[in-house]
Amino acid sequence: MTILSEPIVRRKLSDEVFLRLRALIETGELKAGDEMPSERTLMERFGVGRPAIREAMQALAGKGLVEISHGERARVLKVTAQSLLRQVDLPAKVMLAGSSDSLEHLKSARIFFERGMVREAAEKATDDQIRELKTKLEKQKAQLGDSEGFIGADMEFHTAIARISGNPIFEAVSEAMLGWLKAYHTEMLIWTGKENFTLAEHEDIIAAIEAHDPEAAENAMIKHLERSRALYALKNGLG
């Protein structure tokens, strides 16, 4: 079917306003950090009422394109890998909560992802980046007995490994996956008393990265994640 023969769809006024405002952002007429035009200006420009403008603005905010602050004009946001993945954060958590298969798939995806990240880290890590990993490990040790703090430090450690790649998408994917898994892991780790295993395995990973040995780093990461993946399943009785 060509565009000339497609049926004409009547859109809500707010939907049409949304499309036009989105186009202003996509074309660069409105850039990250810019204030959106005032409601009155947009009403006059598009010939619509205030409700259509406000509904369109809320839709833009829901897509992560603008930030709305009380008493101020909406401002165009910079779209990043992190902000894109935050848009799917809630649906991802709902998917995981409703399906044990989805949780297993995510755990497998994480292992596939992290074995590549740690090889990259072993090849590229600078002395400063290795020091950062050691600092993250010391922070995690200091959180023993505090489940939230310990897991938070664990997430920082794994994200720091992804950051060594220099690819912000890898870092964002690491943060997202760890965040989705967090709810299935925190209490179980403390109940099973496996914190010291985690710390020892992190030390092995750092040692392999510091030796710039991708094979050893990958093997250490696989050993670590294959052992810990069961902790996610036990809490929810999925394994």
Residue 76 sits at φ, ψ, to 5 deg, of: -70, 130
Nearest 10 degrees: Cα torsion 25, 30, 34, 35: -90
HSE-up (13 A, CA, CB side) for residue 160: 22
Residues contacting 107, CB < 8 A, separation 6+ = 181, 229, 232
How far is it, in rounded angstroms, from Cα 196 to Cα 201? 9
Q: Give the model's pLDDT for residue 232.
A: 59
Q: Give me the mean pLDDT over the 162-169 stretch.
A: 95
* CA quadruple 72, 16, 88, 158: dihedral sign: negative
Q: Give the model's pLDDT for residue 49.
A: 92
State pLDDT tens for residues 182-224: 876 554 455 456 788 889 999 999 999 999 999 999 999 999 9
Paired strand residues for 66: 76
Integer angstrom CA distances of residue 178 from 33, 107, 151, 183: 29, 10, 10, 9
State pLDDT tens for residues 118-165: 999 999 999 999 999 999 999 999 998 887 888 899 999 999 999 999
Tell me the two tokens of residue 90.
């809630």
Q: Give the model's pLDDT for residue 42.
A: 92
Question: What own/partner pairs with CB < 8 Å and gap ≥ 24 does 137-143 have?
Answer: 137/199, 137/202, 137/203, 137/206, 140/198, 140/199, 140/202, 141/199
State pLDDT tens for residues 67-121: 888 878 899 988 888 887 887 888 888 888 777 788 889 889 999 999 999 999 9
Q: Are 136 and 153 in contact (CB under 8 A)?
A: yes
* Whether pLDDT at 54 is above 90: yes
List the domains of the chain with CATH numbers: 13-79 (1.10.10.10), 85-235 (1.20.120.530)
Q: Give the model's pLDDT for residue 181.
A: 83
Q: Are 75 and 69 in contact (CB under 8 A)?
A: yes
Q: Give me the mean pLDDT over the 174-180 stretch.
A: 90
Residue 209 sits at φ, ψ, to 5 deg, of: -65, -45
How far is it, in rounded angstroms, from Cα 179 to Cα 42? 38
State pLDDT tens for residues 18-35: 999 999 999 989 999 899
How far is it, in rounded angstroms, from Cα 101 to Cα 106? 9
Nearest 10 degrees: Cα torsion 159, 160, 162, 164: 170
Q: Give the model's pLDDT for residue 140.
A: 95
Q: Give the model's pLDDT for residue 238.
A: 31
What would you measure as the largest C-alpha separation in the chain, in angstroms?
66
Q: Give the model's pLDDT for residue 2.
A: 52
Of the candidates 189, 197, 198, 132, which has an alpha carbon nearest to the alpha carbon of residue 161?
132
Give percent above pLDDT 90 in the chain. Answer: 53
Q: What is the DSSP letter of 144?
A: T
* Whether pLDDT at 239 is above 50: no
